[in-house]
Amino acid sequence: MSNEELLRRYQSGGGRLAAARAEGLAVVPALHTAVLTCMDSRIDVFALFGMALGEVHVLRNAGGVVTDDVVRSLTISQRKLLTRDVLLVQHSDCGLATFTDDDFSEELAEEVGMRPPWRTHAFADPVVNVRRGMARLRHDPFLRPGTVVRGFVLDIEQFTLDEVFVEHAGAPLARTTGTDRQHGPAERRRSGQAWELQPDRAATSTASTS
């Protein structure tokens, strides 16, 4: 049993190691940021962003989808634990792109006799899904005004990040030109450089009000 394997690892040092790593850490994340990503077992989100324990809130679900429950967690994260920014990361080759909501519900219905009351939030294109998630977060009434949301699609093989922009002018997000709206201009496709390039773009866009 896999549960037993995990409990065995806890007893053989995991518990002590976790206690040592948490020692002295504040409950408020030091970088005041929340990261939402997929539960995919290949993604080491702490390694990906060079994060340490105590620095961020990490929220994960199937797909890294902005659901009601994600909004609940983010609202608590912001209002009670002082986070400000949200980083949304979905990825290529995601399990949620391998079926449709309807097919999945129907499979379940055939097996257990009823459809689930929830949606799977399956999606075909992570870029579109990130964009929708960002739009939802930006319009959520309970998140703090001025919340900075940035969204990315992670290439699960190369581990490069492609930034996604919401197509809506006048927002506190990085605004885009026509060529930026799709999956990204050539500069953003250069592996490993997307992350450094975008803050300048965001600052420039925000500064030039129109």
Q: Which residues bind Zn ion (CB under 5 A)?
A: 38, 40, 94
Full strand arrangement of the beta sheet holding 56-61: 56-61, 33-38, 85-91, 149-154, 161-164
Residue 56 bridge partners (DSSP) = 33
Residue type, 142: F
Nearer to Zn ion, 38 or 51 (CB): 38
Minimum CB separation from Zn ion for residue 196, in Å?
25
Q: Identify the H or E element spanning 78.
A: helix 68-81
Nearer to Zn ion, 100 or 206 (CB): 100
Nearer to Zn ion, 40 or 162 (CB): 40
Minimum CB separation from Zn ion for residue 29, in Å?
23
Q: How many residues does the structure list for the chain?
A: 210
Minimum CB separation from Zn ion for residue 91, in Å?
5
Nearer to Zn ion, 29 or 126 (CB): 126
Minimum CB separation from Zn ion for residue 51, in Å?
19
Residue 87 bridge partners (DSSP) = 35, 150
75 and 90 in contact (C-beta within 8 Å)? no
